[in-house]
Chains A and B, each alone.
Chain A
């Protein structure tokens, strides 16, 4: 059965909406396949606006890999803005893909990538517009399998009612495996309908199907246990880890949008995973171990990607790019290759040491010197020990001073507020640090033309981290500390004007905290908020704290219990049956170490400290050096 393009009906609405180009597709390197010549069809969604969703690496990688498979088709869909949503509702136009404008409900799988929990309400909008029942229990054989991935899927419990399935970890191989299961099941004539397909996926051990698990609660509200409710379903579902990134050099042909997006560059992941051990960082915990892409593959991907896209900026991505074992050679090799061209290179710099400045100098050879970013994260020495961010005040001041003397005029310092054990003095320490940085910078350069911007994010305790047991700071405390910090900087006659401060109020972090560590009961809040008009919660102009509090009250959910309450060691956490490979006892010990200011080294350079990931997952650290160099590109 073929499906018709919705474009003629959509087209009539596009005159009336903002930035219509985001809905028409036709991006360079996008793929449109014949519907009838494929058997397994994926609709991939990044549940945010096109301008944010299009550059997403995860979606681009899966889109390309799935479309490379025979008989398989993948198209993309993004959240529509409220202006188009209203028109689609009044004209009866369902959620569509941008590639061939096919209705999302016609696909076999509706896969959503959640980088953040704040996309949950957008998922409900998309499901509703698609004509797919919001709750998995209400779906029938004509509805797609609604599948979640991405970092937030490591605790999908708050959206368990809306999902048919979730996968943890790297998506490349599991997406192919799921495609295979669906193909076989369809080839057999779809025996047993939707339930059998979900059962086949669950039995594989690599796909979590929430409805095959029952959650029991204690009288006080804590979880008693989470257990499979039918035989054949594994007790725990494990994350996926792609080994040997050189075997998976995606994206090969990056999507080049016509509309303006948040990242206008070709990004290459230079490694996955991070073992720096920053205790607040969920990404660093759930993506272990470190797997590097080799210098030669990086060089090949950059060359091919720039050629295929026409982008004039290349970003070298990872959780801590300066940590690549051959980053110096990569930087020099790429800077040599592109010297004198209009291609510029960028590296998200977060490490605080002089080496990082050498890299930045290398990368700015071919472009402008905009600014350098360092992330000490904690304002005091003690705070940095708690979060295991091993940077001393001397390190930071020396590094930033070096940057200033080498001609960088603007430095950005990234911190967090609301960290476990944090006191007012720790946050005020940020002001002291910033002033010392400016003071040292002025002395070293003999100029008053040095600036720094202090940027502050609210800390949210995340599942699968040592801080998963921590009580989150309430928003009043966070706001009070931020106000004190602001005053301390503003009232400083000597340095205040050289220091910029950027921060947000603490309320959104509480909602993020509720969604991050919530259990299945939180789903009612999400639904109530969505029904009350909640959309685009990651956008401050659309986010409403009151709407979330109203939704929680309506659902009978105590937000404090989920956020500011500290958990005991033996409490069953909503995600305990989902395995990121981290040993629970190690996590607890790391939490105790945090409270006692005990630091942990990086296992790439010191002996294994038994976090548990490698033996559980059958993986190992993959790092260089390879000793290879990047040769100059041959001139045609």
Chain B
């Protein structure tokens, strides 16, 4: 039995897939690609594919989703990556596959970097709101979760939050319009603080509300690199081990503040 870690993206219109949609699509792709996936025992065997970390919500794009797959025959990670990618519909793209190491991938997914594109939002207002957000110690928001309406702090988990000016050039629109870009690194917590919770926080502290729903993308997730304040590549550790390199200890970082 071999365990492989897979990094995949959900892009474009396929960002509207839910977790269940992705899991069905992956199971079918595995079958089409003839991947020798291992099955659980029991009355109703299911393929051993596990989704690591909190998957990007429906409607949110991602460049860094992770799953692990167990196979009954040793597979070449690069060949598996290509085969799986071909078998998945365009928009669910397999970016990297490595042989899983001894450690837990889930433990390494400490934080995520997110990008929020806010077409038509006011740059100055966004800057002011982000400043207020940073200067506030605790911002309670409410969100309906599977466990009912939860009230939690959206401030502490946010390790960094920055504002940029960009242009919005979606397909079908001839001219590009100005667009505010928020970029943030958020520590994974329970309940998870999601980008929309941060937006809610911005509305609460500074009455900042974008005119249209934001386009949200998870750019990366991984262990927090204290030097850069960004998530590092969680595959680096296992790659180092495979290469015989010395691994840095993970999971003991203390996140810095904004």
Spell out A's residues near B (CB within 8 Å): 4-5, 7-9, 11-12, 14-16, 19-21, 23-28, 256, 258-260, 264, 306-312, 342, 368, 636
Contact A260 B20 (CB under 8 A): yes
Complex A-B: 14 CB contacts under 8 Å: A8-B171, A14-B16, A15-B59, A15-B213, A20-B58, A21-B17, A21-B58, A26-B91, A260-B21, A306-B31, A310-B30, A310-B87, A312-B31, A342-B45
Q: How far is the CA of A98 from the CA of B13 in the complex (A)?
A: 11
Q: Does the CB pair A20–B59 fall under 8 Å?
A: yes
Q: Is B251 interfacial (CB-CB < 8 Å)?
A: no
Q: In angstroms, how far is the closest chain B Cβ from the Cβ of A632?
A: 17
B191 contacts chain A at the CB level, 8 A cutoff: no
Q: Assess A8 versus B13: contact at CB under 8 Å? Given A260-B21, A310-B31, A342-B47.
A: no
| B18 in the interface (beta carbon within 8 A) | yes
B24 within 8 A of A: yes
Q: Provide the residues of chain A in CB contact with B24, threshold 8 Å.
A: 258, 260, 264
CB of B28 closer than 8 Å to a CB of A: yes
A264 to B90, CA, bound (A): 20
Verify if B104 is at the interface (C-beta below 8 Å from A).
Answer: no
Binary flags per residue of B10-33, CB closer than 8 Å to A gives 1, else 0: 000110111011001101111110
**Inter-subunit contact B20/A307 (CB<8 Å):** no
Q: B212 in the interface, Cβ–Cβ < 8 Å?
A: yes
Q: Is the CB of A21 within 8 A of B18?
A: yes
Residue with the greatest number of chain A CB neighbours at <10 A, chosen from B27, B32, B91:
B32
Question: Would A311 and B28 count as touching, CB distance under 8 A?
Answer: yes
User: A14 contacts which chain B residues (CB < 8 A)?
Assistant: 16, 59
- Is the Cβ of A258 less than 8 Å from the Cβ of B21? yes
Residues of A within 8 A of B31 (CB): 306, 310-312, 342
Going nearest first, the 10 A-B pairs with the smallest beta carbon separation are: A310-B28, A8-B172, A310-B32, A24-B13, A20-B16, A15-B213, A310-B31, A21-B16, A258-B21, A28-B89
Query: Which residues of chain B are near A21, meaning CB under 8 Å?
Result: 14, 16-18, 21, 58
Pick the contact of A368: B44, B47, B170 (CB < 8 A).
B44
B175 contacts the other chain (CB 8 A): no
Report A-chain residues with C-beta under 8 Å of the C-beta of B16.
14, 20-21, 23-24
The docked-state distance in angstroms from the alpha carbon of A28 to that of B87 is 9
Give the residue among B28, B39, B44 with the most A Cβ atoms within 10 A.
Answer: B28
Distance, CA A307 to CA B21, complexed state (A): 20
Question: What's the least CB distance linking A317 to chain B, in Å?
Answer: 20
Are A7 and B28 CB-contacts (below 8 A) given A12-B212, A15-B213, A310-B87? no
Measured in the bound complex, the distance between the Cα atoms of B21 and A20 in whole Å is: 11
Q: Given that A264-B24, A342-B45 are known contacts, is A258 also in contact with B17, CB under 8 Å in the complex?
A: yes
Asked whether B145 is an interface residue with its Cβ less than 8 Å from the other chain, the reply is: no
> Quick check: B172 and A4 within 8 Å, CB to CB?
yes
A9 CA to B212 CA, complexed, in Å:
12
Contact between chains at B13 and A256 (CB < 8 Å):
no
Contact A307–B89 (Cβ < 8 Å): no
C-alpha spacing A312/B47, complex, angstroms: 11
Most chain A beta-carbon contacts within 10 A, residue among B13, B31, B39, B59: B13
User: In the complex, what's the smallest C-beta–C-beta distance from B136 to chain A, in angstroms?
Assistant: 27
CB distance from B32 to the nearest CB of A (A): 4
Task: Tell me, in angstroms, the Cα distance from A256 to B21 when the chains sit together.
Answer: 11
Mark out the residues of chain B between 78 and 130 whose CB falls within 8 Å of any chain A CB in the assembled complex.
Answer: 87, 89-91
